[in-house]
């Protein structure tokens, strides 16, 4: 059911510094910041030949990323994102198999303009998993 690894998301304490490090020190192509108020984050994508790294920073009060950063002041890996062909069929199968979908269970539009859902990390070995429809 899951397809390609779309991205690995890393919460960072300073988005500008992290972007510049990936751009100049690591030589990667880095996108402009994009605010996603409905997700409470500002995001930047680092383009790699085989996948992407998503740099996340809190946006607004009450951001869940803000809580993550409070608990991990240096930042850290937040989630992995896998592509799926049909997000509704995937959601229904995952729920039938006993996995918990976070939020109200309905897809939201993610940073790529495509529907996404998050799966509870306790159901996937301590890893928050995002699925994104291709």
Only one residue has tokens 């850290």, namely: 76
Only one residue has tokens 């896998």, namely: 82
Going from the C-alpha of 44 to that of each of 47, 85, 94, the distances in angstroms are 10, 24, 29
Cα(96)–Cα(73) distance, rounded to whole angstroms?
37
Cα(128)–Cα(123) distance, rounded to whole angstroms?
9
**Dmax of the chain from CA atoms?**
46
Segment (H or E) for 90 = helix 87-96
Assess whether 130 carries a catalytic annotation: yes
Pick from 61, 16, 39: nearest CA to 109? 39
Indicate which residues carry an active-site annotation. 130
């Amino acid at each position: 059911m899951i397809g390609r690894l779309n991205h690995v998301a890393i919460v960072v304490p300073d988005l500008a510094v992290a972007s510049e490090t990936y751009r100049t020190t690591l030589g990667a192509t880095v996108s402009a910041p994009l605010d996603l108020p409905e997700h409470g984050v500002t995001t930047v994508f680092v383009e790699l030949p085989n996948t992407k790294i998503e740099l996340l920073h809190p946006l607004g009060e009450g951001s869940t990323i803000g809580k993550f950063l409070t608990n991990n002041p240096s930042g850290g890996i937040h989630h992995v994102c896998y592509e799926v062909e049909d997000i509704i069929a995937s959601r229904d199968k995952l729920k039938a198999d006993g996995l918990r979908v976070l939020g109200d269970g309905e897809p939201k539009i993610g940073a790529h303009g495509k529907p996404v859902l998050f799966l509870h990390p306790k159901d996937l070995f301590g890893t928050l998993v995002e699925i994104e429809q291709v």
